[in-house]
Amino acid sequence: MGEIVSLEEALTVRGGLQVEGKTVVFTNGHFDLLHIGHVDYLQRARELGDVLIVGLNSDASTRALKGEKRPIVPQGERARMLAALACVDYVVIFEETTANSLVGALKPDLYVKGGDWDRGRTPPEAEVVVRYGGRVCILPYLPEYSTTGLIETIVERFGSGRT
């Protein structure tokens, strides 16, 4: 089971992992309404290194990026669900709309993003990673899984209030 840590704690952990020669993988996202697509993605990310650190958008940054109705699940609960996954070692909640500062501070060996990220565009964090000499990996997009699709299914099935 992973741990939910502050940035300061994550930096201490990162320093120790560097000394041990461990490959640190980092990814980030909202992970609102955690679903099997998220789990598959995180498992694939973890397989690329020794330790997986997940940056989790705070409620405020999620609202700024996704709109006032999101997130559906509060950041504390999202963090706990992520930390409960066997493939996740650490979860760090961040307030910004990008993980640039977090990535720049932690300097993971590998920055991973899913292929669903703004299809075709390079994640803004990639520039930071390249600057310090890290690697960027974009995992293939799995179109059958999405939070938006899940929300649409729920509204379609239960929009009239039936259970």
pLDDT, average across residues 140-146: 74
Write down the CATH superfamily of domain 3-158: HUPs (3.40.50.620)
For the chain, give the secondary structure using H, E and C: CCEECCHHHHHHHHHHHHHCCCCEEEEEECCCCCCHHHHHHHHHHHCCCCEEEEEEECHHHHHHHHCCCCCCCCHHHHHHHHHHCCCCCEEEEECCCCCHHHHHHHCCCEEEEECCCCCCCCCCHHHHHHHHCCEEEEECCCCCCCHHHHHHHHHHHHCCCCC
Residue 1: pLDDT band with limits 50, 70, 90: confident
pTM for this prediction: 0.92
Could you state, in order of their start, the residue ranges of all structural domains in the chain?
3-158
* Least confident window among 64-68, 82-86, 118-122: 118-122
pLDDT at 159: 82
What percent of the chain clears pLDDT 70, i.e. is strictly above it? Answer: 93
Query: 2-17: per-residue pLDDT in tens?
Result: 999 999 999 999 999 9
